[in-house]
Amino acid sequence: MTPEKKALAIVGHIGIEVSDLSKSRKFYETLLKDLDFAVIMETEKVLGFSNQNFQVWISEPTKTRVKRGSPVGEEFIVADHLAILVGSKEAVDDADVAMKKNGFNPLFPCEEYPEFCPGYYAVSFCDPDNYVIEIYTRPRPK
């Protein structure tokens, strides 16, 4: 395929199974609010957020299919997690402050992770079902 005909491949949304929608709602609303996400759909078992570019859907299934163990905080890479790219270190720091203010302590604190790439700066949290959500920034490619 020629470069002009290559399809643009971006992630448009993610769905996350949760065990208790009301518990998870506080976590995701706190985390996503300052990233310009708003609730776009809400039912008894589903909550959808969007920032016009990306959507996060959380749902409470009738029968739980996934039971996730808690990360220990020593992992180099958490195999299945969501990482949201933001435009600045300040946005990462703001997410950290908002989460801590609402009782959510980071799994991995705000800091640089040069082993991923120079300037990579991130904070990670576990949702109530131990799904790891990372907020990060990195220099834009030239």
Cα separation, 133 vs 120, in Å, equals: 16
Return the half-sphere exposure (C-beta side, CA atoms, 13 A cut-off) of residue 50. Answer: 8
Phi and psi for 6 in degrees, rounded to 5?
A: -65, 140
Distance of alpha carbon 60 from alpha carbon 81, whole angstroms: 18
Query: How confident is the model at residue 140, as a pLDDT?
Result: 81
- Residue-wise pLDDT for 90-107, tens only, equals 999 999 999 999 999 999
Q: Could you give the domains of the chain?
A: 10-63+78-137 (3.10.180.10)
Whether the predicted pLDDT of 119 surpasses 70: yes
Q: How far is CA 35 from the centre of its chain?
A: 11
Cα–Cα dist 78/73, whole Å: 9
Percentage above 90 pLDDT, the chain: 70
If phi over 0 gives left and psi between -120 and 50 gives alpha, with beta otherwise, what is residue 56?
Answer: beta
Look at residue 21 and give its three-state secondary structure: helix
pLDDT in tens, 45-85: 999 999 999 999 999 988 777 777 777 767 666 667 899 99
What pLDDT score does 77 carry? 67
Strand 55-59 with 81-85, pairing: unpaired
